[in-house]
Chain A
Amino acid sequence: MTPARMAKADFVTAVILIAVGAGALVESWRMPRLEHLSVNPYTVPGIVPGLLSGVLILLGAVLLARAVRQGGWRLDAASLSSAVGGRLVLMLLLTLGYAAGLVGRLPFWAATFLFVFLFVLLFEWRAGRPPAGHLKSAAIALVLAVAVAAGVSALFQHVFLVRLP
């Protein structure tokens, strides 16, 4: 990452950190003091999270000050969109689609088969490649998908005795 892009990334991160810290601080303050149980006031649940939130806000503020000094506050739409590349979007679609979407809705072996097959097929696809190359990729994807779906399901279900999701 170039220093200019890093400063922008730091600026955004610092704002998020301060917001998370502030949210956690408010929540810590609202935690019960348990007076009705007459507990020792130094053991109330909010003390440590409150302190940690304070430290996080402080560290976020130092990062913010540094990022502002380096010009990180000059955000533009181009710098935000260039942070996410095409490969990353495809990766996130495939992995999140599999683990948060398919697993639990389809039988585990079916979800895994679909995921591995599509993953290999899509990432090995090259524009302008002869059809024979694509066919070979598809065949490898199919074999790998069957092997992983069957192998991992059998291993966890029958050897480690884990109930599959």
Chain B
Amino acid sequence: MPEGLALFAQALVGFLTPAQLFNVLWATLLGISVGMLPGLTATLGIALMTTLTFKMAAGDAILILICMYVGAIYGGSRSAILLNIPGTPANAATTLDGHPLARSGRAGRAMGLATSGSVLGSVVGILMLATIAPVLADFALAFGAFEFFWLAVFGIVIAGHLTALRDPLKGWIAGFLGLLVAMIGQEGIHAYQRFSFGYLDLAGGVGLLPALIGAFGFAEVLMVMTDPSYQVVRGKVESVIPKLRELFRYWRSIIRSGLIGTLMGLIPGVGEDMGAWASYAAARRASKERDRFGKGSTEGLLAAEAGNNAAVPGAIIPVLTLAVPGSAPAAVLLAAMFIHGVRPGPLIMIEFPSFVYEVVAMVLLATLAILVLGLLLTKPLLLVLRVPRERLMPVIFVLCTIGAFAIASRTFDIWVMLLFGVLGYALRRMDYPMAPLVLGIVLGDILDKSLRRGLVLSDGDPTPFFTRPISLVLWLVTFITVLLSFGAIRRLMTRLLAGKRE
């Protein structure tokens, strides 16, 4: 631990140069603006920013991407409060209490609370990132082919379940579709070109970034432009400086939300949206003012915003230690790390021990930036929400097109972006979640290689996949999740448990 502290201090001091601080400020400000605009998500922001920073030094580029990530997840609270439209999906729970506060003329206070909730939740997440990541990396050294195979299946099933709670079947379809898409192109053991049908471009596989820019950029542009109820902000707001007394009063709720948010971030592919919802639900259950929830509760707003921002460092934990993303934006961050030559995974504490603490310092700087910018630049930031969609969306689409192209200078990547955009739009209209699809594309290669390597190691015997301790836990949880999603089995279990209690 003292060694970790020293590495963290060293990393932090390293970032305290005028140039890096300037990068922190503009990237976080851009992130907040992207997050505020309905239709522009953290995933798209990071994906586009990756295409703009891929010629920079690794440390600078990843610092900018993390600032964009933290800023966007926080920025979405502004439109949630002022327009009742979550700026990013992670801020959906914020609308429940944030917008009623704004409607009763307390928009400024709501924005101040959202800022403090986000900052405090993020601080809890950062502490967890600094303590859990090294331990998890150490633990992950015990992962072999069998464990990685189940981790991939576990990630898809759990992410599919939690991101589509009303209809998990659609979450799983999205996830397995992503895995199948990942099979396109040259495979990693015999270099055979799968599903390429003789086309050289397909042999290279479907790039994650063009697919993401399509599914989160073009699809969102289509969603926003076809939405009949898009609004822009009118009117003014009062002071946003929060009262410390109010924050102290709900310290339990804030810490609880920070912990739940981080945990939700840690689970592959689940991320910020569930971080906010789960924290909000837990806060309501534990609250003495339960009836205020949904009508402008301070505690509810703090819980939702602490939960989603804590999920950011939470989602970075598996990125660093297992090379498995905790959420869709974290998937882009993972891809960006690979582009910049950092190899996250179980060996990170051996190969790049200081990198984990550099990331901790980066998230901390981004968090301090949202505190400063969020409280000081309220009025100028509102200008962003006054731009009509007819003028903003064509600019975003031009950036999606050139962004998809810029990574490898391939026209094929523009087609991938377009295909995933149209597909993503159709799937979203039919309530399919996007996060499992992205996770599938990322985890496809791991699943493919791990299953085949595992079978070679066991000479075709599937037993070790089910009996090794970590594998056993992973497949059991996966299996139970699938079983419990069947209505009949869930009802039977509830009846059995109720019978026992009587």
Q: What is the interface of chain A, defined by CB distance below 8 A to chain B?
A: 1, 6, 9-10, 13, 17, 20, 24, 27-28, 31-32, 34, 37, 39-45, 47-49, 51-53, 55-56, 59-60, 62-63, 66, 85, 87-88, 91-92, 95-96, 98-100, 103-104, 108, 112, 115-116, 119-120, 123-124, 140, 144, 148, 152, 156, 160-165
Contact = CB atoms under 8 A, between A and B. Distances in A.
A160 B405 contact: no
Contacts of B187: 45
Contacts of B402: 108, 152, 156, 162, 164-165
A6 B169 CA distance: 14
Nearest to B153: A55
B42 interface: no
A56 B176 contact: yes
**9 tightest A-B CB contacts, nearest first:** A42-B455, A119-B394, A45-B192, A123-B390, A49-B183, A48-B448, A162-B406, A43-B452, A116-B394
A156 B393 CA distance: 19
Q: Secondary structure of the A side of the interface?
A: helix
Given A48-B448, A100-B415, A112-B398, A140 B391 contact: yes
A10 B394 CA distance: 31
Contact of B397 (A56, A95, A123, A163): A95
A51 B221 CA distance: 35
Contacts of B391: 120, 140, 144
Nearest to A59: B173
Interface residues of B, number: 55
A56 B394 contact: no
Interface in B407-435: 409, 411, 414-415, 417-418, 421-422, 429-431
Nearest to B454: A42
A88 B226 contact: yes
B189 interface: yes
Q: Which of B173, B195, B222, B456 has the most CB of A within 10 A?
A: B173
B451 A47 contact: yes
A69 B221 CA distance: 34
B401 interface: yes
Contact of A40 (B418, B448, B456): B456
A96 B448 CA distance: 34
A60 B55 CA distance: 43
Contacts of A164: 402
Interface in B423-468: 429-431, 447-448, 451-453, 455-456, 459-460
Given A32-B192, A43-B189, A48-B447, A116 B183 contact: no
Contacts of B5: none
7 contacts: A24-B195, A45-B189, A47-B452, A52-B180, A59-B169, A119-B390, A148-B395
B399 interface: yes
A95 B221 contact: yes
B372 interface: no
Given A87-B226, A95-B221, A6 B190 contact: no
Nearest to A162: B406
Nearest to A161: B55
Contacts of B177: 17, 56
Interface in B34-72: 52, 55
Given A43-B190, A162-B406, A6 B452 contact: no
A58 B172 CA distance: 11
Nearest to B440: A52
Interface in B360-405: 388, 390-391, 393-395, 397-399, 401-402, 405
A43 B390 contact: no
Given A17-B173, A99-B417, A100-B418, A148 B451 contact: no
Nearest to A144: B391
B314 to A, nearest CB: 28
Contact of A60 (B173, B397, B411): B173
Contacts of A31: 192, 194
Contacts of A115: 394, 397-398
A101 to B, nearest CB: 11
Contacts of A40: 456
Nearest to B178: A52
A52 B183 contact: yes
B55 A160 contact: yes
Q: Which of A59, A92, A140, A163 has the most CB of B within 10 A?
A: A59
B225 A87 contact: yes
Given A10-B430, A42-B460, A160-B52, A123 B225 contact: yes
Given A49-B183, A99-B401, A124-B390, A165 B194 contact: no
A52 B405 contact: no
A116 B179 CA distance: 36
A24 B180 contact: yes
A165 B176 contact: no
A139 to B, nearest CB: 12
Nearest to A54: B176
B475 interface: no
B414 A49 contact: no
A24 B195 CA distance: 8
B218 interface: yes
Nearest to A91: B225
A20 B184 CA distance: 13
Q: Which of A48, A55, A88 has the most CB of B within 10 A?
A: A48
